[in-house]
Amino acid sequence: MKNSLKKLIIVANRLPFTIKSDLSFIKSPGGLVSGLTTFLKKSKIKDYVWIGWPGSHLNKSTFKIIKEKAKRLKNHPVFIPAKQFDKFYNGFCNKVLWPLFHGFPSHVVYDESYWETYIEVNKLFCNEVAKYVTLDSIIWIHDYHLLLLPSMIRNLFPSATIGFFLHIPFPPPELFMQLPWRKELLEGLLGCDLIGFHIYEYTANFLRTLSRTLGIDHKTGLILYQDRLIKVETFPMGIDFELFYNACEKRKIKKLVKNIKNQLKGKKIIFSVDRLDYTKGIYNRLLAFERLLLKRPDFHEKVVLIMVVVPSREGVEHYQRMKKQLEEKISEINGKFGKIHWIPVLYYYRSLDFEELVAHYLATDVILVTPLKDGMNLIAKEFVASRKDKRGVIILSEFAGSAKELGEAFIVNPNSIDELTNAIEKAFEISEEEQKERISSMQERLKRYNIIKWGNDFLTTLESLNEKKFKFSTQLLTPFLINEIKESFHKSSNKILFLDYDGTLVPLVSKPYLAAPDKELKNTFKITF
């Protein structure tokens, strides 16, 4: 991003800080928050504000104090009443858009009141954004919670510069078109100047959906819509490569790695860490581990699966049901195979802090990142970046966006338990030399396209569109322009005036001979035909 950066307005569902009931601030969870926070910090962008939900339902009497406190951190909370938030976040966002966009149409709950609340909450965000928009602001909206916001802002500020980035997959048209509100959602997004996706597949899905739903076509990702030029582009989100690469040198992390290894007394470690979500393929992972233990008795007592599941969206029934299903399977495996000195699956239902997370990445022999569908999946990238020792194997789902950049991983189809099991077996067999080759190539790529490059690419593209915007915009014939034309016409010694005819001086008609000038037009030009 050029240093001339104008004022940046970031809008996302979550603020980077969650405000607790005792009014203390803690860092919000999630890849979006950590990615954007790192980008803002590392690219030294100072002139910005971040608008979002404060992460919990707070008492109205505290709003003023919270606003003041948040403002010092450039945060501006959007307070959403609890009832409305339930229908918005648990409802439209996570029972409609999330399952459909991830290819789980049977999980979608079609409820008109969710949709109405989604519109209302997008309006709440719009009202807050409107307070900070100036002539030179750049508005960067994030994720599926705010698909209607771009057009709402555009209606208030027709010349605003607006970008949008989707952090989850964009589904193929056949799926998207199942939504009764498909047109409204697309028109909402078309308020943007730039729309970004993680990988080309999602960009192509979006462009195909536009053509089939609204009949809007594109030329190399450029769309002309309501006299505006909109660009649709791919920007694969990266990570803070150096942070993870150098983390192994930290004393605290070294100690934690040693602890994990000592506790497990030389056993091979398979690691998995995810937010609790049916899209992550966690259950299939357990089935594969169970099958491995059945197939390979020689692995008994020599291998453990450390499974970390991070609590998430506990207000949605599918998530509650899934937790139960996972925990039952884990007890079944441990009950069937475990011994007094060997628990095959070590299960944690909590989040890990940065040091603990990297220590697990470093202590691991094999990591399983096998979502059924995932926009990008930064865990895969973080694991690879952390391994300065060039050791370890990653088994990665072909349906994670990151698989496009991590081709040297063991790429699997997570729907096949056999394929997963075989991949784990094979992962234990490959030489240190091969591990090194694979990890090194992937690290080179991640180093080049890191989180800074991602953010800079998006914002520079958005800024460059501003110049094009002027070129393509319709020029109104103002009195000033009329005068300019008159003057140049009178001054010229060879006078020719080029005018558009069909559709300008006369209406468009089916046959050319019907396009005759009427009396008014003839009088205007004082010409006798």
Q: 78 or 393, CB closer to ligand F6P?
A: 78
Tokens representing 138 are 């750049």
Strand-pair partners of 258: none
CA 491 → CA 478, 486, 487, distances in Å?
A: 20, 9, 6
Binding site for ligand F6P (CB under 6 A): 14, 29-32, 143, 167-168, 275, 312-313, 375
The amino acid at 177: M
* Nearest distance from C-beta of residue 348 to ligand F6P, angstroms: 18
Q: 89 or 241, CB closer to ligand F6P?
A: 89
What is the residue whose two structure tokens read 């962008």?
A: 45
* Nearest distance from C-beta of residue 301 to ligand F6P, angstroms: 36
Q: 34 or 161, CB closer to ligand F6P?
A: 34
Buried b (16+ CB within 10 A) or exposed e, 264-278: beebbbbbbbbbbbb
Q: 213 or 351, CB closer to ligand F6P?
A: 351
d(CA 101, CA 91): 14
Tell me how many degrees the CA angle 237-13-222 measures, rounded to the nearest 5. Answer: 50
**Selection from 164, 238, 229, 239 nearest residue 203 by Cα:** 164
Return the SS3 of 259. Answer: helix
Strand-pair partners of 229: 224
Q: 30 or 392, CB closer to ligand F6P?
A: 30
Number of H helices, E strands in the chain: 20, 16
Q: 275 or 329, CB closer to ligand F6P?
A: 275
Q: 81 or 315, CB closer to ligand F6P?
A: 315
Count of CB atoms situated within 10 Å of the CB of 141: 26
Is there a catalytic annotation at residue 353?
Answer: no
**Selection from 269, 304, 498 nearest residue 391 by Cα:** 269
- Residue 388, burial from CB neighbour count under 10 angstroms (0-12, 13-18, 19+): middle
Q: 88 or 289, CB closer to ligand F6P?
A: 88
Q: Which residue is nearest to ligand F6P (CB)?
A: 30
First to last CA, the chain: 58
Count of CB atoms situated within 10 Å of the CB of 279: 22
* Nearest distance from C-beta of residue 82 to ligand F6P, angstroms: 16
d(CA 303, CA 166): 38
* Nearest distance from C-beta of residue 94 to ligand F6P, angstroms: 7
Of the candidates 22, 227, 353, 500, the residue annotated as catalytic is 500
- Residue 520, burial from CB neighbour count under 10 angstroms (0-12, 13-18, 19+): exposed
What is the residue whose two structure tokens read 């299903």?
A: 325
* Nearest distance from C-beta of residue 391 to ligand F6P, angstroms: 28
* Nearest distance from C-beta of residue 28 to ligand F6P, angstroms: 8
* Nearest distance from C-beta of residue 279 to ligand F6P, angstroms: 9
d(CA 95, CA 108): 5
d(CA 27, CA 20): 11
96 DSSP 8-state letter:
I
The amino acid at 297: P
**Selection from 355, 269, 257 nearest residue 304 by Cα:** 269
Q: 312 or 456, CB closer to ligand F6P?
A: 312
* Nearest distance from C-beta of residue 381 to ligand F6P, angstroms: 14
* Nearest distance from C-beta of residue 167 to ligand F6P, angstroms: 4
d(CA 269, CA 303): 6
The helix (H) or strand (E) run that includes residue 208 is helix 200-214
Tokens representing 42 are 């590392």
Residues involved in catalysis: 500
